[in-house]
């Protein structure tokens, strides 16, 4: 079976240095891939390149659509890119404020992506928004409140609902639990695991937290200085790390 997303020697540099270099990866339908590494390792640069949120300097990037059409993403026309991001992809920001419209209600935040692809029936839009609030464990009675009325963890749930309401096949997530209290992180991680399983959703998740990767990921990639230094099945990499950098990362989160 073709991978949903396939990158070959993908490279993105800043001022001729940094970024990510010669990255190979593939993501299959229903699979969660976590990219881990310290700050500056290139993982967020890679995520933005994969999601076509930044220009790419070299390599190849392909995506297989619902209709089994393989698209060369680096030569794809801009209108087709926008349609892809609205229908088959989602992008969850580290800070929910970057992924929500602050001046419209919770319900409107969820309904807007559907309106962008043609939905117009107000009653059905509102029903769908209420349903998704329930799915991400938000009180649907608060559908008319602004995002600012919600806590940080609730805003992240709202952003997730906004991304999933159109039924994407692939979601990119940039440190989705960063900055949240430990108890809030735990609930959000449980929600993400439930949703990816139930919706057969593929996800590429960037995190510096090995615990997040162990809980969510089927496969793991470890980055250092812009390059992938180790990859494989999550349990295999974390239980028997081969690269010294991976060994250091794993040891840093193990109890003494």
- pLDDT tens-digit map of 104-122: 999 999 999 999 999 889 9
| Strand partners of residue 206 | 35, 174
- Residue 100 near residue 158 (C-beta atoms within 8 A): yes
DSSP, residue by residue, 1-41: ---SEEEEEEEEEETTEEEEEEEEEEE-TT-EEEEE--TTS
Name the region of 175 (left: φ>0; alpha: ψ -120 to 50; beta: rest): left
Lowest mean pLDDT among 13-17, 166-170, 172-176: 13-17
Q: What is the mean pLDDT of residues 92-100?
A: 94
Does position 256 have pLDDT exceeding 70, yes or no? Answer: no
pLDDT of residue 16: 60
Does position 17 have pLDDT exceeding 70, yes or no? Answer: no
pLDDT of residue 255: 47
Cα angle, residue 139 at apex, residues 156 and 89 outer, rounded to 5°: 40
The 10 Å Cβ neighbour count of residue 232 is: 16
> What is the distance between the alpha carbons of residues 154 and 169, in angstroms, rounded to a whole number?
23
How is the chain split into domains, by residue range? 5-88+168-253, 105-167
Q: What is the mean pLDDT of residues 119-131?
A: 94
pLDDT of residue 252: 81
To the nearest whole percent, how much of the chain has pLDDT over 90? 83
pLDDT of residue 218: 96
Range list of H helices, the chain: 43-50, 78-87, 106-116, 122-135, 152-164, 182-198, 210-216, 234-239, 244-253
Q: How far is CA 49 from CA 46, 82, 92, 150, 224, in A?
A: 5, 15, 14, 31, 17
Contacts of 148 (CB under 8 A, 6+ apart): 102
**Which CATH fold would you assign to the domain 5-88+168-253?**
Rossmann fold (3.40.50)
Average pLDDT, the chain: 93
Strand order in the sheet with 170-174: 89-92, 170-174, 202-207, 32-36, 219-224, 227-233
Provide the whole-model pTM. 0.94
| Strand partners of residue 89 | 170
């Amino acid at each position: 079976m073709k991978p949903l997303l396939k990158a070959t020697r993908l490279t993105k540099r800043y001022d001729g240095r940094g970024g990510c270099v010669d990255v190979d990866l593939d993501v299959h339908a229903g699979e969660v891939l976590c990219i881990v590494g310290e700050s500056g390792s290139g993982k967020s640069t890679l995520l933005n390149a994969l999601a076509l949120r930044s220009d790419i300097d070299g390599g190849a990037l392909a995506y297989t659509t619902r209709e089994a059409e393989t698209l060369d993403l680096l030569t794809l026309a801009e209108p087709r890119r926008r349609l892809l991001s609205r229908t088959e992809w989602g992008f969850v920001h580290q800070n929910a404020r970057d992924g929500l419209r602050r001046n419209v209600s919770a319900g409107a935040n969820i309904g807007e992506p559907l309106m962008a692809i043609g939905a117009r029936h107000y009653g059905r839009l509102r029903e769908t928004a209420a349903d998704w609030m329930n799915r991400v464990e938000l009180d649907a009675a608060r559908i008319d409140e602004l995002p600012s009325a919600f806590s940080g963890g609730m805003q992240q749930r709202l952003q997730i609902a906004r991304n999933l309401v159109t039924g994407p096949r692939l979601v990119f997530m940039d440190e989705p639990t960063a900055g949240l209290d430990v108890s809030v992180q735990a609930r959000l991680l449980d929600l993400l695991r439930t949703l990816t399983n139930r919706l057969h959703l593929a996800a590429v998740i960037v995190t510096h937290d090995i615990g997040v990767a162990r809980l969510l990921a089927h496969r793991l990639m470890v980055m250092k200085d812009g390059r992938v230094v180790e990859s494989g099945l999550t349990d295999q990499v974390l239980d028997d790390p081969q690269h010294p950098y991976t060994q250091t990362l794993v040891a840093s989160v193990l109890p003494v």
